[in-house]
Amino acid sequence: MNSGHFFFVIMDVEGKVLKSNGLFEKIAPRSTNREFWNFLSLDTAEEFCYSLELMLGAPKIRRHLMLEHPLCNQDSFSQIWWEFSVVTTPEGDISSVIGIGVGIQLLEDEMPWDNLVDVLGFGKLVLDRRLRITSWDSRVESWFVKDGLAWKNKDLLQTAEFGDDPNLFSSLQKLLEGENPVFFTFIGNQREFAGLLYKSGQEFHFFMGPKEKKPAEAFSKRIFSQKEINLIPGAVFILDKDSCLVQQNQSAKEWSEVLFGNSWIEGENFDKSGSSIDSVKLKYAINEALEGKPFLFEIRRFSSGSQALFWDVTVNPIFENGEEIQGVFIHIWNNSNFQNQVLRLHQENEKLRSLALQPSHILRGPLSSMLGILDLIDFQSLHEENKKLIGYLKPLAEDLDKKIREHAKKTGNL
């Protein structure tokens, strides 16, 4: 936990600091039991609080943020690149949030930055001394590249993804004029990224990581017209490929209010649904759809009354030109009437079965006693006429016992 390079902090679900290392204490003295955002600049505090809400809604996803921490002088800030992840119990409940960060000032040291690609989730793109792209890793490919050969040996500023960004252009100029690494932000593929340019021998390394989307920055292209969405019965949600809500109908708003206590706003990340078993199922279904696999499951809510609520949830990928996944279509149909009818039929069948079994239980008690008494009678002490009558009675009682058992068996199999 103690490190001369990395900041480390453990928070509860409300963002209060439970434990931190000495390096963090230097920029946030007496931080224990205080909210983490108290040690951030106003702008990045808002970004952190929004990201914390997203993390609690999607515990398996790591979050990367560039945050500003005021130093002793309120006019000066220390920029730190943080990675946050959520710790859960074996039962799936959220127990804490862990953050690990590295200061931008560390970039001036001779540190093996390639290690941070794995530690902080950066993507890496390598340029030759003429700023031509020579290679890139899988993270960068997932964010930008459709054609694996599209960038090979191409000037970085000649690419459609990077060529028009003024921050990148000015940052390259700073790097070429000096030796120190340059940190900046840029827009790529409709998302905001944090970027880092670093000179390594005869090469340039371009590290990057996507910043969290805010609702106003979410993907706004509507896949269907609102009229089409409103014509579909049941709740309908349309997500983009980043799991942000693009469209929904009125039934969808009402459904999310009933199930989760609040409705979603278009532009929000759909991962905020919580950590209940239904939320976990929904997130899993969305992930499956984003990989091209449709998913169907049921959500149910049992109330104290006789009625229960049932929904059939269908989650399907939306393909563009039959190949690339454009988004996710979620349709939720209220199946409560049918399921409650089936439930009532089961309950009525159980009552009928109980009524049918009752005569067997009522009759077998006295009949068993009768057979026991017949076994105790001393036939030698009876007159011949009584022996004859008793001899008729016992087979009849045994036959009646057999028929009661057969009836009970048939009724139990209904």
Q: Which residue has the tokens 């009625």?
A: 307
Q: Do 199 and 96 fall into the same domain?
A: yes
Say which CATH number the domain at 231 has. 3.30.450.20
Q: Do 183 and 223 fall into the same domain?
A: no
Q: Do 318 and 394 fall into the same domain?
A: no
CB 49, CB 39: distance < 8 Å: no
Last residue of a domain, one of 154, 182, 210: 210
Q: Do 23 and 127 fall into the same domain?
A: yes
Q: Do 143 and 282 fall into the same domain?
A: no
Q: Do 191 and 263 fall into the same domain?
A: no
Q: Do 21 and 109 fall into the same domain?
A: yes
Q: Do 138 and 18 fall into the same domain?
A: yes
Last residue of a domain, one of 154, 176, 210: 210
**Angle 275-279-283 (CA atoms, 0-180°, nearest 5)?**
110
The pLDDT value recorded for residue 172 is 85
- Which residue range is the domain that position 251 belongs to? 217-303+311-334
Nearest to 207 by CA among 130, 58, 102, 54: 102
**pLDDT tens for the 414 residues of the chain, in order:** 566 678 899 999 888 999 999 888 888 888 888 999 888 887 788 888 878 877 777 676 777 788 888 865 544 567 888 888 888 887 777 889 999 988 766 644 545 555 555 555 678 889 998 889 998 888 888 777 766 567 888 888 888 888 778 888 888 888 888 767 787 888 877 677 888 888 877 888 888 887 655 443 444 456 677 778 888 889 999 988 878 888 888 888 888 777 766 667 777 766 545 556 677 788 888 888 988 899 998 887 765 555 677 888 999 999 877 678 888 999 998 877 776 677 777 777 777 766 666 666 666 667 777 777 777 777 777 777 777 777 777 788 788 878 777 776 766 665
CB 147, CB 160: distance < 8 Å: no
DSSP for 71-114 reads -SSTT-EEEEEEEEEEEE-TTS-EEEEEEEEEEGGGGGS---TH
For residue 29, tell me if it sits in a domain: yes
For residue 114, tell me if it sits in a domain: yes
Q: Do 70 and 131 fall into the same domain?
A: yes
Last residue of a domain, one of 210, 240, 270: 210
Q: How many domains does the chain have?
A: 3
Nearest to 327 by CA among 268, 378, 285, 286: 286
Q: Do 61 and 203 fall into the same domain?
A: yes
For residue 128, tell me if it sits in a domain: yes
For residue 398, tell me if it sits in a domain: yes
DSSP helix/strand/coil, 383? coil
For residue 72, tell me if it sits in a domain: yes
DSSP for 136-154 reads E-HHHHHHT-SSTTSSTT-
For residue 293, tell me if it sits in a domain: yes
- φ/ψ region of 243 (left if φ > 0, alpha if ψ in -120 to 50, else beta) reads left
What's the rounded Cα separation, in Å, for the pair 182 and 173? Answer: 10
The pLDDT value recorded for residue 94 is 83
Q: Do 92 and 174 fall into the same domain?
A: yes
**CB contact set of 159 (below 8 Å; sequence gap of 6+):** 133, 150, 151
Which residues on adjacent β-strands are paired with residue 236? 331
Q: Do 315 and 329 fall into the same domain?
A: yes
For residue 1, tell me if it sits in a domain: no
For residue 392, tell me if it sits in a domain: yes
Say which CATH number the domain at 405 has. 1.20.58
What's the rounded Cα separation, in Å, for the pair 168 and 225? Answer: 37
